[in-house]
Amino acid sequence: MIDYIVVGLGLAGITFCETLARHGRSFAVVDDDSQQASKVAGGLYNPVVLKRFNPVWMAGEQLEFALPFYKELEDKLAVKLLYPSRIKRRFATIDEQNQWFEASDHPRLKNVLLQQLQANTNPKIAAPYGFGIVQQSGRLDTSLLIARYAELLRKQGQLIRESFFFDELQILAEGVQYKQLKARRIVFATGFGLVQNPYFNYLPIQGSKGEYVRIYCPDLQETEILKGAFFVLPEGNDEYLVGATYSWNDLENTPTAKARQELIEKLDRILNCDYKLIGQQAGIRPTVTDRKPLVGRHPVHNDLYVLNGFGSRGVMIGPWAADLLYRNIEAGDPLPAEIDLSRFKKKYFEAGQARRGS
């Protein structure tokens, strides 16, 4: 019997698997590539909400955990994954500049937002009110992380490339059995795929579709992350990712003409140069109604767990939440109430009553 089956190999699955590996636990992963959020993510981490300049929930704690975690993964996988970078927040109005000054006095943002504004020196960008500079931010190369981690697991015989068939899951007196595989526990880290999970589909996951376009723009010559209506992320070789959109209606992973148009229209308002559209990508963020992660144990089945609900901040939340889940399972440490999925316990029993027609 192995210690864990993990279903899903996005940011949630990888951060949990790596936590298991670091504690010497045995595990196998089932993944079918049906969700794309982690693969297409911009990979940004930053401790401030860039719309109204508020601190991100638990950002300090999460970053303190996440950055060394990914650094250790860089060494283990022998690949560069982290790209620290400042973010240039473009001001649309004088009013925004004033909000910035106010926010930069906030005790949690003092070392994050530079007090002094930066004038625009790039003639290819329209930014008459200049920029505010965010520090302690950067990017994680999520698609490379997934590719390399999957490769490592494949070599170690720990990766099963298939859709998880719920009919094949048996709940034993102790542990679970999936096909031939017996494990002490199973952790579902399936992102928006959670909606298909008969054990956990009572949880209020909404999903929000996000899309990026990729442009080739040799005249722009920008090396720092730019944030106007959308992010403009330098990718090297004069390529940039522009996005991401938010949509709650269409929950397919396919890129749309509507998002492309929205991104191009807004990009055209801030760029004074030609560019070529060279790609587009889409994924579904696993967003919860209360915008907090979903972590913890099934209301009745003691060996079934979930790690999910990372919304638009999987890079920062992943290592921190994976550690909390691990310590909860193995040492009985309580989960913070805000992320513990037991906050939705009532929904589980209501859904059960509805199923039974009572």
Ligand X SMILES: Cc1cc2nc3c(=O)[nH]c(=O)nc-3n(C[C@H](O)[C@H](O)[C@H](O)COP(=O)(O)OP(=O)(O)OC[C@H]3O[C@@H](n4cnc5c(N)ncnc54)[C@H](O)[C@@H]3O)c2cc1C
- Confirm or reject binding of residue 9 to ligand X (CB under 6 A): yes
Contacts of 206 (CB under 8 A, 6+ apart): 248, 287, 288, 289
- CA dihedral defined by 321, 296, 163, 34, rounded to 10 degrees? -40
Interaction pattern, residues 239-268, with ligand X; x per rule: CB under 6 A: ----xx------------------------
Closest CA to 27 of 40, 42, 47, 13: 13
Decide: is 193 part of the binding site for ligand X (CB under 6 A).
Answer: yes
Site for ligand X contains 212 (CB under 6 A)? yes
CB of 315 to ligand X, least distance (A): 3
Residues in region 140-169 near ligand X by CB under 6 A: 163-164
As given in the structure block, the two tokens for residue 145 are 């992380």
Instruction: Name beta bridge partners: 205.
Output: 288
Cβ 258 to ligand X, closest distance in Å? Answer: 14
Task: Rank residues 283 and 319 by Cβ distance to ligand X and give the closer one.
Answer: 283
Which value, in Å, is the radius of gyration of the alpha carbons in the chain?
A: 21
Binding span for ligand X by CB under 6 A among 66-74, 107-115, 278-286, 319-327:
278-286
In the complex, what is the shortest distance from the CB of residue 10 to ligand X, in angstroms, rounded to a whole number?
Answer: 2
Of 30, 220, 232, 259, the residue at the interface with ligand X (CB under 6 A) is: 30
Rounded CA separation 70/156 (Å): 20
Distance between CA 196 and CA 166 in Å, rounded? Answer: 9
7 touches 305 (CB < 8 A): no
Q: Which of 191, 228, 234, 255 binds ligand X (CB under 6 A)?
A: 191
Nearest alpha-carbon partner for 282 in 32, 39, 31, 10? 39
| Identity of the residue, 4 or 192, whose beta carbon is nearer to ligand X in the bound complex | 192
Q: Residue 135, Cβ neighbours under 10 Å: how many? A: 16
125 binds ligand X (CB under 6 A): no
CB of 116 to ligand X, least distance (A): 26
Query: If binding is defined by CB under 6 A, does position 176 make contact with ligand X?
Result: no
Alpha carbons 58 and 40: distance in angstroms, whole number: 24
User: Is residue 85 a contact point for ligand X (CB under 6 A)?
Assistant: no
User: Does the footprint of ligand X cover residue 4 (CB under 6 A)?
Assistant: no
Q: Which residues are near ligand X by CB under 6 A?
A: 7-13, 30-35, 37-38, 40-44, 163-164, 189-193, 196, 210-212, 243-244, 283, 285-286, 308, 310-316
